[in-house]
Amino acid sequence: MRHRLGNRKLSRATDQRLALLRSIVRSLFIYGKVKVTLTRAKEARRMAERLITAAKSNNLMGRRKVESVLHDRAIVTQIFKTFPERFEGRPGGYTRITKLGARRGDAAPLALLELV
């Protein structure tokens, strides 16, 4: 059974889609916010929330999970230093999506994905 296992394909092959989402999440963790299309923001939010939850556990398994997605030890170290105390009392909802309207060129709906 494949109930509730769906994800947005973003008109890309699996490796390209994962690379795109990793890049968005990496930028989110570095800069605190990123401006992307609404569907990309919704899909990147899923990945980011799961990584922050893994970072809150602050153990070796969580660190390996985050490293396997981000592939950057400097960012992973920064995440494990700041995020556990930053999101300590919060059981979820670490990110916020704010709609920004349509992009001028192709009228794609834009959104701002930011850490709360």
Q: Please, are residues 115 and 32 in contact by the beta-carbon 8 Å criterion?
A: yes
DSSP label of 108: P
Residue 43, in any domain of the structure: yes
Give per-residue pLDDT as tens, 15-42.
999 999 999 999 999 999 999 999 999 9
CA distance 100 to 17: 23
Encoding tokens for residue 81?
A: 């230093």
Q: Which residues pair with 35 in a beta bridge?
A: 112
Look-up of token digits 């700041």: 82
Number of domains in the chain: 1
- CATH value at residue 42: 3.90.1030.10
Residue 88, in any domain of the structure: yes
What is the layout of strands, in order, in the sheet containing 95-102? 33-37, 109-115, 95-102
Single pTM value for the model: 0.91
Residue 106, in any domain of the structure: yes
Residue 95, in any domain of the structure: yes
Domain range holding 89? 14-115
Residue 8, in any domain of the structure: no
Residue 5, in any domain of the structure: no
Q: Which residues pair with 33 in a beta bridge?
A: 114
Residue 3, in any domain of the structure: no
Residue 6, in any domain of the structure: no
Q: Which run of H or E residues covers position 25?
A: helix 14-31
Give per-residue pLDDT as tens, 61-103.
999 999 999 999 999 999 999 999 999 999 999 999 999 999 9
